[in-house]
């Protein structure tokens, strides 16, 4: 489905904050920001998962649609996602990890993308070691320089595409969510020491 809005300015002119959508942004002064640009009813559970990964110490951002609607009603494609608070927070970070949702395809595999290949590969390895499927994203590679995850100081970030079935599982199974978050956080630490 095509996006209804080409950018945030168009969306904001038509919709009301705290009625139609909500923005949450926590600048914790870290070099990494965890974000969910398509949260709420757009790609359900992505904000919850991103918030869990960020915990209380990593910077966090989410854009959440508060009303039900078609996928394209609130969705702004990642390389056109230009909400000012997101641009500011991501732009002050060294790297970003964006949590996205995708349709089920019969697997629980996380698709790995983005321009931060060292971190991307470290996350993939850590997820596989924790018992999660992870493979390079051939469909939505997240390498466009304007992709919100790549608008960092380094020009690099990671995009994770989670199928609906995995997002539901992580939202309801706290042990699985903890293992998933720990894997990603350990990869962030290990990649920063490389």
Q: pLDDT by residue (tens digit) across 82-92?
A: 999 999 999 99
* Residue pair 100/110 in contact by the 8 Å Cβ criterion: no
pLDDT score of 3 more than 70: yes
Query: For the purposes of burial, counting CB atoms within 10 Å of the CB of 71, is it exposed (0-12), middle (13-18) or buried (19 or more)?
Result: middle
pLDDT: is 61 or 72 the higher one?
A: 61
Q: Do strands 59-65 and 110-113 pair parallel, antiparallel, or not at all (unpaired)? A: unpaired
Q: Give residue 42's pLDDT band: very low, low, confident or very high (50, 70, 90).
A: very high
pLDDT score of 35 more than 70: yes
Question: In percent, how much of the chain has pLDDT > 90?
Answer: 91
pLDDT at site 69 = 75
Q: Is the pTM of this model over 0.85?
A: yes
* Residue pair 78/144 in contact by the 8 Å Cβ criterion: yes
**Which 3 state secondary structure label does DSSP give 6?**
coil
CA distance 75 to 53: 22
pLDDT score of 194 more than 70: no
pLDDT digits (tens, 9 = 90+) for 122-143: 999 999 999 999 999 999 899 9
pLDDT digits (tens, 9 = 90+) for 139-158: 989 999 999 999 999 999 99
Average pLDDT over residues 148-176: 98
pLDDT at site 105 = 92
pLDDT score of 68 more than 90: no
The pair of structure tokens assigned to 157 is 């970030």
Query: For the purposes of burial, counting CB atoms within 10 Å of the CB of 42, is it exposed (0-12), middle (13-18) or buried (19 or more)?
Result: buried
pLDDT score of 70 more than 90: no
CA distance 188 to 50: 14
pLDDT at site 191 = 83
Domains located in the chain, CATH noted: 8-192 (3.40.630.100)
pLDDT at site 72 = 72
pLDDT score of 71 more than 70: no
Average pLDDT over residues 150-179: 98
* Residue pair 112/136 in contact by the 8 Å Cβ criterion: yes
Torsion of CA 148, 11, 167, 128, to 10 degrees: -10
């Amino acid at each position: 489905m095509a996006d209804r809005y080409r950018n945030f300015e168009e969306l904001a002119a038509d919709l009301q904050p705290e009625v139609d959508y909500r923005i949450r942004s926590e600048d914790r002064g870290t070099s990494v920001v965890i974000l969910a640009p398509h949260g709420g009813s757009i790609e359900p559970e992505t904000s919850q998962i991103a918030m869990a990964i960020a915990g209380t110490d990593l910077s966090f951002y989410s854009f959440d649609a508060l009303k039900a609607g078609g996928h394209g009603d609130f969705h702004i494609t990642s390389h056109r996602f230009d909400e000012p608070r997101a641009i500011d927070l991501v732009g002050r970070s060294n790297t970003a990890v964006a949590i996205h949702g995708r349709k089920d395809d019969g697997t629980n595999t996380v698709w790995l993308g983005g321009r931060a290949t060292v971190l991307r590969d470290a996350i993939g390895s850590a997820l596989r070691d924790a018992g999660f499927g992870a493979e390079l994203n051939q469909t939505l590679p997240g390498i466009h320089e304007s992709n919100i995850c790549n608008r960092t100081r380094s020009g690099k970030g990671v995009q994770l595409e989670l199928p609906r079935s995995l997002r539901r599982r992580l939202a309801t199974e706290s042990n699985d969510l903890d293992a998933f978050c720990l894997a990603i956080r350990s990869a962030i630490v290990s990649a920063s020491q490389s």
